[in-house]
Structure 1
Amino acid sequence: MNLSKLSVLRPVAMSMVILLLLILGGVSVKNMTVDLFPDLTFPIAAVTATYDGAGPQEIEKLLAEPIENAMGTIPNVESITSYSQNGGALIVVSFNWGTDMDFAALKMREKLDVVRDYLPSGVQSPRVVRFDPSDLPIIQLAVKDVSNEMTEAKRLAEDQIKPLLDSVEGIASVTIEGGTEPEIRLIANPTHLSSYGVTLENLQQMIGSENINLPAGSLLDQNQQLPIRITGQFETIYDIETLPIPTKEGIVPLKELVHIQETLKPVGQLSFLDGEPSVGISILKQSGTNTVQVAEAIHREIESFHKNLPEGIEIKTVFDQSKFINQSISAVTSNMIIGSILAALVLYLFLRNIRSTLIIGFSIPISIVTTFVFMYFSGHSLNLITMGGLALGIGMMVDNAIVILENIYRLRQEGYNKKDASILGTKEVGPAIIASTLTTIIVFLPIVFVEGLAAQLFKPLAIVVSFSLFASLFTALIIVPLFSSQFLKLNSKEKVINPRYTSFIVHYKSILTQALNHPKKVVVITFSILLVSLVGIPFIGTEYLPAQDQSYINMSVKLPEGSSLDATYNVTERINEQIIDVKEIDLTFVTVGGGNNFSLATGTQTNQANYTILLVPIGERSRSDQEIAEVIRSKVKDLPYAEVSVSASESGFSADPISLKITGPNLAVLEQLADDTMRLISNVKGVREPSTNYTKGNPQITVNIDRERASHYGIGSAQIASVITNATKGVVASRLARDGSELDIRLVVDETYTSSVENLSKLLVSSPIGAKVPLHAIAKVERSQGPSQITRTNRLREITINASIVDRDLGSVTKDIENTLRDQIVFPSNQYKITFGGQDEQMNDAFFKLSLALSLAVVLVYMVMAGQFESFKYPFIIMFSIPLTIIGIIVGLIITNQPFGVGSLVGMLILAGIVVNNAIVLVDTINLLKKRGMDTVEAILQAAPTRLRPIFMTSLTTILGLIPLTLGFGEGTEIQQPMAIVIVFGLSVSTMITLIVIPVVYYLFDKKKQVQVTEQS
């Protein structure tokens, strides 16, 4: 233990080291990235391809299948899912976790180059896109105009706010949603134009050719080379109205041919803040940047911009990810501080020495600062997971320091001076401290080899806990002896052992003596308690990741396909009336005309609306976000023709709780199975809002051209399509520059011709021979049903049913669904099957991999102890403390009503390294006393009381340090709470096991060994 001696003999040098650590720690914290979660890399990429005019069946055959076959030859592909719909396909390729996605995307492009020649000639070049969680907005703003003139709000957002935010460092993109823009509309009556011998195409060309400023060369005049510029650009609406148009009736002004008005552009999307029109602004940050710093910079710019806002304009924050990050990290930090205070309090209650308490009090921040230095240089960010790891490590962080300090304190009570007590005290327990720290750290090694989302989340936690333990080892071996050699003084009262503690030692020694006198009875009772506790397993549910209350709720509204924007808006108005009395709602932001992530068509889906509902902070409400979501769900469930889905506590990266995949060859059969499945699972307790990804297609108008009749007039299909497009969408003939902005000059057909199918069929088409032919003369116009979307996974057609769960755990609901479907769903053949995906699939995969990691961790702990003790027997004795912690784990989960999930498994992983620490110190002391000549019973009865105080102290500091997390104080502690519960209850039971059962097991093994030696001799 030369390091401890050096730390005692060189206090000035060690003080400089501590000062350097504090400086490095401060610099590290200042420069570390702050985010909600660690950087997550999802092994998902997609290919998008468009083929205009082709239906889903053709897309499936001509695009999806060849691209699927090509993607299937790429290494490490886990699954391939394609979405074929009218006009294009999306092929999503999922790779195995751990795949290099840069290389995978390169291979996908190479395969596309090979298959491109086999695709139809009209297919636009397919492209590869990567899925990145950072593509989600960190802040959403709403610009509201009290006067409801949304043109001003839209102009302000586009011309001033967006350029302002684009200049902020770390911003990737700024997207504007909703609002309206002005335009100049020229409304034409084709019949009226026909009387003048003019067509829409004629007007478009003439308006475009007249509204120009053009250079026209130059000329030499009086020795000056002067450029010539022709100015004919429109300056006012009057210029448009008086534009002369040549017709067969002569030159007439444009206003006599068309009706001219300044109005608003037709919109496909509307946004509302608290029921009033608004403009939405979504802000994405660059990958790897500090979310909190970027958000603060955004708010500073918006705050300064507020001073220049026009009267009646308001800017409100709808969603701010940094707010939840700050609240979560603040809550975890508060828990760390509370845990540190409780740990110091435990030390004072046991030692009754303020100096020893201060020594431990100083060792905690030094360990934390050292951990921050490790985190910074290893590239880790400050986030919910890493800070949670630090909070978990707080209790364990002082364990090593307490064991060494208590030993030094005991030697001081025995009469050693400060320096000798510090050196000898560290030397006596140093090897055991190193071994116990290594056993705790080694349990995290297997998690490095675990793949999947859970591993990506908890690897940083494991690394940070390891860093904190390394830091605590450094502090215990170096800093604590240094401080003890300088400051640890005992007064006359402290040099005498407390009589109450002496009485407690006598009582414990009596119990231990009784246990050693009846060792087999103790073992039988202990294992009987273990077997009884296993009965509680069926009463513990299972989950993937715990829900996180982030104080906002998402709600999506879907009307029947083809519903208009006005119809969707009317439904949102009814929803607003229904939820207005929910007192926990702070604000609501709704976008009418929501897009579809898998939609390849342009524009928005007018039959959808998406709500973002911001709740008041957790401290200001008595109900959780899920309880509030259930209230909202009950209020809107009876809306006619509307499918409403309400979700809360979404992490943003886990799948739907319930996801059933039905596969088979026939789409009609799959649809029937999906309908039956949705009906059955709707009756399962806890299931909410089952929905399917199968779409039957939009109602549409089909124009079937009679080519033979059309050819008699010299009219082609392209010309008919152009006429109909111009009539329904209009055509931008030119633009009018005014006040620094440009207004579209849109030429449209009078809405009489597009108000019904019958009127559309009367639309006139000009033929090259000069005739005006009505559309119904050359084509059949009728209503029909649009084609459906076809989904395939691994070359099999598939329909997916998703659902949420409320007030029940995932495992119980999944089990009930399995039983229901097994009894009541009949498949027509073996070609059809239902499989579980979503969180159930993720949970089973994580449980399997983490269980293997836990098993390997136990083996590694045994191997480390075997090397430390140079024996296979003593580590085996110590390992008895691991399986018996199951008693505490089961009791803890039942008492707290906490399902068993990934967090609980990670807690067990950490617990496997912690519970052996006290046993290591105890067994090491027993062995040391036996080497000094004591027999087994005498060594046990002296070692156990000697190590009783440090065992209690280290266990209580860990337990009390985790109490705030166990109780779930503050925002963002939901992920750490299951781990804390498992560690607190498991460690509580293991402490009792260490003090009674481990000495008994040691005695039985040693007794057996003595019998064997006697028989051999």
Structure 2
Amino acid sequence: MFDFLPRLAVQRPVLTTMMVVMALVLGLFGFPRLQTDLYPEVEFPVITISTVYPGAGPEEIETQVTDRVEEAVATLANIDGLRSFSQENISIVIVQFDLGVDPDQAAVDVRDRVEAVRGQMPVDAEASIVQKFDIGALPIMEMALFGPQGVDPLYELADEDLRERFSRVGGVAAVDIVGGRDREVEVLVSPERLQAYGVTLPEVVSMIQAENVSVPSGRIIEPAAAVPVRVVGEYRSVQEIEELRLFLQGGEVLRLGDIATVREGYQDVSQIARFNGEPAVSISIQRRSDANPVSTAEGVRAEIQRINAELPPGAQVAIVRDQSKFIQNSINDVLFNLLIGILLTTVVLFLFLHSWRGTIIAAAAMPVTIISTFLLMGLAGFTLNTMTLMALSITVGILVTNTIVVLENIYRHLDLGEDPKSAAQKGTSEIAVAVTASTLTNLVVFTPIAFMEGIIGQFFYALGLTVVFATLFSIFISFTLAPLLAARLLRSNETDAEEREGRLAPVWKKWDEGYRSLEHSYRGSLGWALARPRNGWIIIAAIFDLSVVSVLVTGRFVGGEFIPQGEVTAMRVELELPSGTPIERTSEIAARAEQHIAAIPDVEAVLTTIAGGGGGFISLGGGGNSAVILATLAGGARPAEEVLRDLRPMLPDLPDVAVSAVVDRSRRDRRRRPGTDPAADLRAGLRVAARAGGPRHGRSGGGTAAQRREQHAGRAPHRGDLPPQPRRAG
């Protein structure tokens, strides 16, 4: 059985070549189709229920919406945690299920329970939105549209034109726009005239609504076709509204323009965006969960170039944060390290083999195996991410080891004087069982890793199977490509010939002398260790002590985390004022914070959104008392953590504001609260939840906890979850 592939490689070179080329070509075609992402696709069994109740305060939201939703879903099976947030205009309930629960089925079950209590909700409450957590649903790019035209015209341009253009880019799922006002028609009714004519305001409202209709009115059937008919009565101008007729008692007819002023205008300010201190429109791009974030961002950047060439004079779309660059840089770093590993392995092989022919054989096996692995990665639905690339980096040593063992035995037969074909077939067949058995140990180790449970298992699923795929291909390449090339490139007694006649013969002579000296020293040390049992126990004790010391040193000076932080090039400052604060007051406080941030030399751009939606998994907009400031750092700037340490002392002078300043990890939703983003919570070192009898006690207890925490040295930056407004944590 183990003689089949080596014999086939030597005696049927064309067939073997076609097999290797087929795997290579399929891998090359599969590589461009692999999506690029930072981490493997991970599903969190977390469901959120968002319910908007316009005009309601936190207390009404809690008692009339949040409590009823909680009671409806609390009896579902396999619930690990239930949290809720009640604030002005909106209720957020987060249901976290046990790991292993199907998120799709959990979303269906939660939706059914919420629909069952829909009739118990306030009449003005909007239908609840049930969503499952999806990392891919977070924005991949945030932009700012600014110019001298003013924010309202720019918002209209973004809403009517740019939204559609960005939506047409491949991979874009949604476009979120914040920072302007929608147009509206204002009807300013005069109370004195209403009283003079004996008309009530509801009568005016009913008249306006009744005249603005577009309804189906049947169809006209002809021999050749059936034509649908609609009665279209929608308003087309302000003048039409002014000419509306109101019939009074006694047959008198009254124009709407006689009792009211009708004009075009804008809605009241409900959201604000600023870019570098100037009014702007914030645009965020959300990709589809199955789309490649890098290619999607490339398409968006290309569209931005075309848009900037067509915008009115002075207007411009600027990219504030591009997550795809962070992803691409991370992937490029791993790819570069992988290539460096292959190159260094090739150099070491050349030093020990003393033969460029043997080095070519071993070096060719590594890229061929890695490229072929892309075929199975694509079939398995994996993406090109840090985990799969790390798996390929791990397997570089495994790949070359199999080929080296095969080549070493082939060289042994060549040194005995056998011809290359016979040496290639015999040398490979003799050690086939040993190579296969040693390689299969990797499968035994990494296959269980791929099928671990929980969140860890989802991260390591792709890593474990990628190692398995690469290992299987390495066995195939070692038993086919290695003997195939050896039979045609190597020569009998090649090692002796290279050491005697080769151009590098003096170098090999010096190298072998040094190696033999090292070997002699090792033999002496090994002989001393085996001479007496006492010597052996001394070596064992020394190794054990060194291992213990290494573990202690590692635990003391080397930290640990679930997900590497990577290079961070942005900071995020969240401001929250008391409930009911006017948006103008929030904008004033945010402007002061912007000045502090912009004064730091490392900051390149500052984007502020106030009461914006925030696209992504959870949107907590709706009140004018919250602001989010995103600050990106210039190239070559200090690490974000250092910049943040300089910024934090500047923020406490903001009056009556709950401030949170954190580094932006490029995967966070811009309007997230602690506990509402499972991916961010995994990165958090510690999250503390405090229970209290009421909001006042909760804020007092939270302040006490924060003060005690300040007494500890070496603390990490923290974020509070107790802003100065009533809130309930379920």
Match in the other structure for 2:691: 663
For 1:942, the equivalent position in structure 2 comes to none
Distance 1:397 1:54, change over 3 A: same
Superposition deviation, residue 177 in structure 1: 1.8
Task: Give CA-to-partner distance per residue, 1:599-657, whole Å, 9 cap, x none.
Answer: 999962212111222333xxx41522322333333443433333332222524423033
Q: What is the 5 A alignment of 1:438-837?
A: 438-489=440-491, 490=494, 492-494=496-498, 498-517=512-531, 518-536=535-553, 537-595=555-613, 604-616=622-634, 620-650=635-665, 651-652=667-668, 653-655=679-681, 656-663=684-691, 669-687=697-715, 690-694=718-722, 697=725, 788-792=726-730
| 2:160 corresponding residue in structure 1 | 159
Deviating more after overlay: 583-592 vs 355-364: 583-592
1:659 partner amino acid: R
Separation in 1 of the partners of 2:709 and 2:43?
Answer: 33
Distance 1:344 1:80, change over 3 A: same
Partners of 1:672 and 1:230 lie apart in 2 by 62
Alpha-carbon RMSD across the aligned residues, in angstroms, is: 3.9
Distance 2:66 2:595 in 1: 45
Give the deviation of 1:215 after TM superposition: 11
1:331 aligns with 2:348: no
- Say how many residue pairs are matched: 689
Amino acid at match of 1:663: R
Alignment of 1:338-487 (within 5 A): 338-487=340-489
> Quick one: structure 1 residues 117 and 16, their matched pair in 2 at CA, closer, same or farther if it must change by over 3 Å?
closer
In the aligned structure 2, how far is the partner of 1:142 from the partner of 1:84?
A: 30
Q: Is the 8 A contact 2:85 2:91 kept in 1?
A: yes
After superposition, give the CA deviation of every residue in 1:694-732 in whole Å (9 maximum; x if it has no partner). Answer: 4664xxxxxxxxxxxxxxxxxxxxxxxxxxxxxxxxxxx
Work out whether residues 24 and 371 of structure 2, in 8 Å CA contact, stay in contact via their aligned partners in 1. yes
C-alpha displacement of 1:345: 0.8
Using structure 1 for the length normalisation, give the TM-score.
0.61
Number of the residue aligned with 2:273: 271
| Structure 1 residue 189: Cα displacement | 5.2
1:4 deviates by 2.4
Q: Is the 8 A contact 1:413 1:495 kept in 2?
A: no
CA distance in 1, matches of 2:164, 2:559: 51
Asked whether the 8 Å contact 1:561–1:607 carries over to 2, the reply is: yes
Compared with structure 1, are the counterparts of its residues 689 and 350 closer, same or farther at alpha carbon in structure 2 (3 Å cutoff)?
Answer: closer
Compute the displacement of 1:311 (Å). 2.3
- Taking the aligned partners of 2:464 and 2:661, their CA distance within structure 1 comes to 34
Structure 1 residues 109, 492: closer, same or farther in 2, change over 3 A? closer
What is the one-letter code of the residue matched to 1:682? E
Gaps of 5+ in 2: 220-227, 501-508, 669-678
* Equivalent in the alignment of 1:318: 320
Structure 1: distance between partners of 2:217 and 2:44: 57
Structure 2 CA distance for aligned equivalents of residues 239 and 111 of structure 1: 47
| TM superposition shift of 1:77 | 2.2
In the alignment, the residues of structure 2 paired with residue 156 and residue 53 of structure 1 have an alpha-carbon distance, to the nearest angstrom, of: 29
Paired letter, 2:550:
S
Instruction: Verify the 8 A CA contact 1:154 1:179 in the aligned structure 2.
Output: yes
Q: Does 1:178 find its partner at 2:179? A: yes
C-alpha offsets along residues 878-923 of structure 1, whole Å, 9 cap, x if unaligned?
xxxxxxxxxxxxxxxxxxxxxxxxxxxxxxxxxxxxxxxxxxxxxx
Q: Tell me how far apart the structure 2 counterparts of residues 335 and 601 of structure 1 sit (CA, whole Å).
A: 39
Give the CA deviation at 1:243.
6.9
The separation in 1 between residues aligned to 2:397 and 2:59, in whole angstroms, is 61
Aligned partner of 2:161: which letter? Q
* Residue 513 of structure 1, CA deviation: 1.4
Distance 2:372 2:218 in 1: 73
Matches of 2:329 and 2:724 in 1, distance apart? 44
**Shift in alpha-carbon separation, 1:86–1:182, aligned structure 2, 3 A:** closer
Shift, 1:100, TM fit: 1.7
Q: Is the 8 A contact 1:45 1:129 kept in 2?
A: yes
CA contact (8 A) 1:190 1:199 kept: no
**1:357 CA drift (Å):** 1.7
Q: 2: CA distance between counterparts of 1:638 and 1:486?
A: 78
Q: Which runs of 5+ in 1 are unaligned?
A: 219-226, 698-787, 793-1017
Residue identity matched to 2:202: E
CA-to-partner distance for each residue in 1:146-197, whole Å, 9 max, x for gaps? Answer: 2142233222222222222333343322222222344443444535654554
Q: What's the offset of the Cα at 1:135?
A: 2.0
User: Cα–Cα, structure 1 residues 136 and 534, in superposed 2: closer, same or farther, change >3 Å?
Assistant: closer
Partners of 2:541 and 2:318 in 1: CA distance: 66
Distance in 2 separating the partners of 1:595 and 1:469: 48
Residues 197 and 248 in structure 1, CA contact (< 8 A), matched pair in contact too: no
* Residues 121 and 376 of structure 1: CA distance in aligned 2, closer, same or farther (over 3 Å): closer
Partners in 2 of 1:68 and 1:246 — Cα distance?
51
- Within 2, Cα distance between the matches of 1:320 and 1:506? 58
Tell me the distance in 1 between the aligned counterparts of 2:166 and 2:395.
39
Cα deviation 1:100-148 (Å, max 9, x = unaligned) = 22233333345557x649957868776643222222122333222x214
Q: Is this contact kept in 2: 1:682–1:689, CA < 8 A?
A: no
